[in-house]
Each structure stands twice: as C-alpha cells, then as structure tokens.
Amino acid sequence: MFSYPPDLFDLPVYGLASAQKQAMLDELLQSLSAHHYAHCQAYRQLVDCNPFDFSSAPSPGQLPVATRLFKDLELASIEQTEVFRQMRSSGTSGQASKITLDGPSAKRQSQVLVKILQSWLGKQRRPMLLIDAPSTVKKAGAMTARAAGLQGLSFFGRHHCYALDDEMQLDVDKVQAFFTEHGEQPVLIFGFTFIVWQQFIQAMISQGLTVNLTNAILIHGGGWKKMQEQAVTDEQFKTAIRQTLGNVSVHDYYGMVEQTGTIYMQCEHGHLHTPVWSDVLIRDPADLSVLENGVTGLIQVNSVLPTSYPGHCLLTEDLGTIIGEDDCACGRLGKYFKVHGRVPKAQVKGCSDTFV
C-alpha cells in the first residue's frame, strides 16, 4: 500500500508557500508515478512508449495521462478484489470515463473535499438547496460524477431540499417552502452550472419568482461549454443569480471525475485556487512544454490523492492560464488560474454529467 507522510492531510488548505509546497509535491508525485508504474500495466506501457521528453522541469515524475484515455482503457493500480467503487462521467457522446477506487482512495478523496470546502463554508451545516432532482442520486450502476457531487456536497448541509422534480422541472412549491422557512438564515445552494442556469434561474425568471436571501452561498461547477454556447458570461451568471435570489456569494469550481476530491474553488476575485495537495501546470499544445505564467495552453492537473488508479498527473482538453502564485488579493497561497474553455474540436467530455 502506498504510504503518505504523517500529517500530510492536516496541512492548511491554502497555507503553504511555493518552495515548500513544490518540494513536497515533487517528491510525492515522483513516488506515485513509481507506484502506478509498478502496479498498472497500461500506465507502464504508456510511460515506456511515451515519445515526449519530460525529463526537464518541473519533474519527470509529472508525466501526464490524457484524461480521454480513461474512456478507452482500464487504468487501475489495484486488483479487482480491492475495488470499492467505480465512478463514471458521461458526455454528450455517451462515452464514459471509468475511475476505479478502493476504500482508502474513496476515504481520502472525501477527507480532502471536506477540508477544502470547510475552508470556504466553515464547519456549521447550513440549510441546503440542491439544484437537481432527487432521482439523480438514486440511479443504478456506477456512481456518476454528478451524483457524487450532490452526495459529497450534501454533507455540508441540513434540511436538504431538491429544487427540481424527477422531470428536471422547477418544483415551485418545494422551493418556495424552503425559502419561506430558511430564507433569513445562512443558506447553501449547490448545483451544476448549466442546470442552475437553465432549469432553476431561467425557470424562476419565467415565472416571475424572486426571493431576497440575506446570507447565501452558491457553489456551482461544470457545464460552461453550454453556457458559452448561449453567450452567458461568468459575470452575467452572477448578476442573474443576485437579481433573482438576493444576497448570494457565488463560487464556481473546477474539477473532474478523474480527480474526485480535488477541486479548485473560485475566490471573490474570480480566480480558481490550487489547494495544498494539488497543482496546475500549463503546457504548450504543440510540444507539451511547460509554459510560463500568463500564457494560455493546455491545463495539467496534479493531485497526490489517487493511488488506486494513475490519475495523479492528468492532461486535460481544457485551455487555461496561470495568473500568479502566492499573491492573490484574497490572501490564499498557491497558484491561481483561469479556465478559458475546451480546445477547439476536442472530444466532448462531461465531467459533471451533461444534462440534455
């Protein structure tokens, strides 16, 4: 079994400065690469036949696996008897990424997700409105990323209310009852971006419904491809939220089923932040060389969490830019960045389970 340093998961979420964090990540990612090389045949073959030179900085241990390979290959570093859960994502193409977890990996992901979100929400559970249908978490088969997101975030709430019915339509009576009972309390709202926009906010607007929340937080993620198709910007999204719901602090996040538990939350200045157990690199699409801050390229996400499958260093099909490190105006340490969208003509990937 892979061994982590003592107290690794007790580190402050955004409290480690660059040099110390990078040394820790380099050592762990190198060890994880060796672990997966020894235990996953497909990963070993990918490394052995890799045509690119990754021997230069930041570390040869950070050779990335393309996220789309999880759709085509069985990438697992554990025996079948050790499988605790399989996660899957589905895009509009219908092809799913398959992520294999053992018990320790699933527990570790939950532990880190809790620590990240508590740093934004605090430890007090809030009345919670989930912008989805209750049937989403009850479907048979491997757990989808969307269902996992709903279940994972539910931990931070109480008096849970699903805003949509099983036909994914606004349940007006339930929503109005929730706001009547809890509207003056600190409320937590969670959903996937396009569902929040299309099935909730637009439905509220079309029915002339508004509420004046006094202290709410909305966490949302995924689905920006559809938002961009409708020419809805992040600022327009936030404005519509506040016009419809009142005083709401809106936080996007970036994450994917291939690295469940590791999420990059958006601060009040509109920047996505890397927690201490993860990192972001930007690579040139032409030769995969690492680009400097301020230059746009392919996003690579690194995480020390995955031991049951080689998901510690992943090359996405998303374009992004690292803005800076350790100097965001919000005061959080670590790299902070922006995501610009998918690479043109990239294979469609719905890490948040596309709703059509």
Give percent of the chain above pLDDT 90. 68
- Statement: residue 140 has pLDDT above 60: no
What phi, psi does 223 have (nearest 5°)?
80, 10
Let me know: does 43 contact 37? Beta carbons within 8 Å. yes
The residue extents of the domains of the chain are 8-342
The C-alpha atoms of residue 262 and residue 115 are separated, in whole angstroms, by 10
The C-alpha atoms of residue 265 and residue 255 are separated, in whole angstroms, by 9
- Statement: residue 329 has pLDDT above 90: yes
- Statement: residue 356 has pLDDT above 80: no
Mean pLDDT calculated for residue range 163-177? 95
> What's residue 61's pLDDT?
57
> What's residue 88's pLDDT?
80
Q: Which of 327, 341, 114, 134 is nearest to 222 (CA)?
A: 341
- Statement: residue 159 has pLDDT above 50: yes
Q: Which of 38-47, 264-273, 302-311, 328-337 has the lowest mean pLDDT?
A: 38-47
- Statement: residue 101 has pLDDT above 90: yes
Per-residue pLDDT tens for 56-69? 444 555 789 999 99
Please determine, looking at this structure, whether the domain spanning 8-342 carries the CATH number 3.40.50.12780: yes
Q: What is the 3-state secondary structure (H, E, C) of 105-149?
A: HHHHHHHHHHHHHHHHHCCCCEEEEEECCHHHHCCCCCEEHHHHH
Contacts 24+ apart (CB under 8 A), 149-153: 149/190, 149/192, 149/221, 149/352, 150/190, 152/110, 152/113, 153/117, 153/128, 153/188, 153/190, 153/219
Kindly report the CA angle at 14 between 294 and 252, in degrees rounded to 5?
A: 65
The C-alpha atoms of residue 303 and residue 37 are separated, in whole angstroms, by 16
> What's residue 242's pLDDT?
95
**pTM exceeds 0.85, yes or no:** yes
Longest alpha-carbon distance in the chain: 61
- Statement: residue 80 has pLDDT above 70: yes
Strand ranges in the chain using DSSP code E only, listed in sequence order: 65-66, 85-90, 96-101, 126-131, 143-144, 157-162, 186-192, 213-221, 246-254, 264-265, 272-273, 278-283, 297-303, 313-325, 335-342
Q: Which of 1-5, 41-45, 144-148, 261-265 has the lowest mean pLDDT?
A: 144-148
Q: How far, in Å, are 9, 74, 274, 330 from residue 253 at the CA level?
A: 21, 28, 11, 16
Residues making up the chain, counted from first to last:
356
Q: Work out the pLDDT band at 141, boundaries 50, 70, 90.
A: low
Per-residue pLDDT tens for 222-281? 776 777 777 788 889 999 999 999 999 999 999 988 998 899 999 999 999 999 999 999
Question: What is the CB neighbour count within 10 angstroms for residue 51?
Answer: 5
Let me know: does 63 contact 50? Beta carbons within 8 Å. yes
- Give the burial class of 219: count Cβ atoms within 10 A of its Cβ; 0-12 exposed, 13-18 middle, 19 or more buried: buried
Let me know: does 203 contact 233? Beta carbons within 8 Å. no
Displacement of CA 28 from its chain's centroid (Å):
21
Question: What is the CB neighbour count within 10 angstroms for residue 239?
Answer: 12
Q: Which of 65-74, 89-98, 146-155, 170-179 has the lowest mean pLDDT?
A: 89-98
Residue type, 105: S
